[in-house]
Amino acid sequence: MSSYLAAAIQMTSTPDVAANLSTAAKLIGKAAVDGASLVVLPENFAFMGHKDTDKLAHAEIDGSGPIQDFLSNIARQHRIWLIGGTIPIQASPGKVFASSLVFDDKGVRVGRYDKIHLFDVDVPGGSESYRESATIDPGSAPLAIDTPFGKLGVTICYDVRFPELYRRLADAKVEIIVVPSAFTASTGAAHWRLLTCARAVENLAYVIAPNQGGLHPNGRQTFGHSLIADPWGSVLAELELESGIALAKIDLNALHARRAAFPALQHRRILAAAS
C-alpha cells in the first residue's frame, strides 16, 4: 500500500480504566470513519493512576487480559491496524513492562515492544521528579515489523531522546516510526517537536507521535501536541491540548523518492570511539 491515512490519538487518561477505554473506543471509531488504516494510541492510554504503583493492580499476563482483549476486538471491528500505546504487562515481582502492542486488522497481535529507556529524572525547575524504574522493568530489544503500510518501528516516549535506538531501526529499513508518549508539559514545551521531527529527518522516515495532553486527576500535566511528521521534518498534522485525532497521509512513494534524491542513510560512516 503506497499511500494511506494514519491517525495519532490524543487522550487525557485517568485512573478509571473503563472510562479510558470508552474514550479510546470513540476516538478509534472516529479515526476509522475518517479513513485511517493505521491508528496509534498514546502511552498509558488505558490507565494513569494517582501513584506509580497503582498500575500494578492492572498488570496483565502477556497475551491475556481485558485491555489486550479491547485492543484486539476493536482492531478487528474497524478493520484497522492498531498500536496500543502502552499497557502494563507482568514482569518481575512488583514491576511491569511498559508494553506497546501491535494488532493487525483481524485483531491478531503481531508485535510487542517493551519500553527500553526509563524516565528516571528530576525535571529542571525542581517541581517534578520521576522514577519509572521503581515500577517498570526495561525492555531489551528494538521492534521492527513488516506491515501492509511499510516497515514499522515501535518506540515509546523517553526513547525519543536516544537516537542510537532509531539508528538500529534504520538499519532494519523502517519507513514509519511510532512514538506513543506521555510527555510532561515542561519537557514537551522544550523538546517535543524538536525531538520527534529530528527522528524523522535523520532517519528519513515518517513519525507518528500520539501524546497524552492536559491536566490529569493525579495532578500531572502532559504536553499534548500529538503530531505526524514526514521524512523531511514537516509536521503534517498536529493537535493542541484537546483529546482528538491527528490524521495525515503517509506516502511511501514520496518517502522512497526523497531517500533516492537525498541518500543520507547510505552516507553513514561508523567512526571509532573518541579517546
pLDDT at 241: 94
Identity of the amino acid at 217: P
Greater pLDDT, 273 or 69: 69
Q: Which is the catalytic residue, given 55, 60, 95, 115? A: 115
Q: What's the structural domain count of the chain?
A: 1
Answer whether residue 211 is part of any domain.
yes
Answer whether residue 273 is part of any domain.
no
pLDDT digits (tens, 9 = 90+) for 152-211: 999 999 999 999 999 999 999 999 999 999 999 999 999 999 999 999 999 999 999 999
Identity of the amino acid at 209: A
Cell of 227: 503530531
pLDDT digits (tens, 9 = 90+) for 225-245: 999 999 999 999 999 999 999
Work out the number of other CB atoms within 10 angstroms of the CB of residue 216: 20
Residue with the three cell numbers 517498570: 136
Residues with Cβ within 8 Å of 16's Cβ and at least 6 positions away in sequence, in order, are: none
- CA-based radius of gyration for the chain: 18
**% residues pLDDT > 90 (the chain):** 94
pLDDT digits (tens, 9 = 90+) for 57-108: 999 999 999 999 999 999 999 999 999 999 999 999 999 999 999 999 999 9
Answer whether residue 46 is part of any domain.
yes
228 touches 4 (CB < 8 A): no
Answer whether residue 17 is part of any domain.
yes
CATH of the domain at 150: 3.60.110.10
**Partner residues linked to 221 by β-bridges:** 215
Residues with Cβ within 8 Å of 42's Cβ and at least 6 positions away in sequence, in order, are: 8, 9, 10, 11, 13, 85, 180, 181, 182, 210, 211, 212, 226
Cell of 221: 500535566
Answer whether residue 12 is part of any domain.
yes
Q: Which is the catalytic residue, given 95, 157, 175, 197? A: 157
Answer whether residue 275 is part of any domain.
no
Q: Phi first, then psi: give them for residue 115, nearest 5 degrees.
A: -50, 125
pLDDT at 126: 67
Answer whether residue 107 is part of any domain.
yes
The b/e string for 80-116 (b: 16+ C-beta within 10 A; e otherwise) is bbbbbbbbbbbbeeebbbbbbbbbbbebebebbbbbb
State yes or no: is 115 an active-site residue.
Answer: yes
Q: How far apart are CA 228 and CA 128, in angstroms?
A: 28
**Does the pLDDT at position 275 exceed 80?**
no
Residues present in the chain in total: 275
Answer whether residue 274 is part of any domain.
no
Structural domain of 179: 3-267
